[in-house]
Amino acid sequence: MLEVIIIIIISVTIYRRVQRRKQEGESGGSQPAVTTAARPQQRMRNTPAKNAIQEAREDGNNTTAYLMEKAAADAKEHAREKREEQKRLYETRGGLAVAERYLPENEIPRGKKCVICGYCGAENLIPVSPGTRYSCYFCREPL
Ligand SMILES: [Zn+2]
């Protein structure tokens, strides 16, 4: 829940920033052009979230910058946990990747196909030409 709130705060902050930029226009901006030109590499490498954090800090919004940094760290941690969970599942199922669930109300995404599990009958989404073998998302039987 806290994550959701932080993400909303970030979205609102970024949205406001974009709106402000638009209002300032390209020529009337308060930032000298030199600032941007001096570090184009850095600007391009940074993610929008990192840029927003840096800008918040430059503007003196240290609390906002802290919250955004924390949210970014939380998101990273969450992604890492997810990867580890996937890896654990992969290893416990003898090298089978777990298929995605197919919801009948959704279209089948490009490059995917729907496979009915022979054991439980669940509808699974797997790549059309899978490089690895998949197991059913529901019962984990090989597809
Ligand atoms: Zn199954």
- pLDDT, tens digit (0-9, with 9 covering 90-100), for 71-99: 999 999 999 999 988 777 766 666 788 89
- Of residues 79, 76, 64, the one with CA closest to residue 17: 64
Percentage with pLDDT > 70 across the chain: 71
Gap from CA of 111 to ligand 1 centroid (Å): 21
pLDDT score at 29: 45
Gap from CA of 99 to ligand 1 centroid (Å): 10
Task: Tell me the C-alpha distance between 98 and 90, whole Å.
Answer: 7
CB within 5 A of ion ligand 1: which residues? 117, 119-120, 122, 136, 138-139, 141
- pLDDT, tens digit, for every residue of 43-65? 456 678 888 888 988 988 888 99
What band does 36 get if pLDDT is binned at 50, 70 and 90?
very low
- Of residues 60, 57, 136, the one with CA closest to residue 102: 136
Task: Give the alpha-carbon dihedral of 45, 50, 53, 59, to 10 degrees.
Answer: 10
Gap from CA of 83 to ligand 1 centroid (Å): 23
Gap from CA of 9 to ligand 1 centroid (Å): 40
pLDDT score at 14: 65
Mean pLDDT of 94-112: 89
What band does 2 get if pLDDT is binned at 50, 70 and 90?
low
**Residue 123 CB contacts under 8 Å (≥ 6 apart), including other chains:** 101, 102, 104, 114, 115, 116, 117
Gap from CA of 114 to ligand 1 centroid (Å): 13
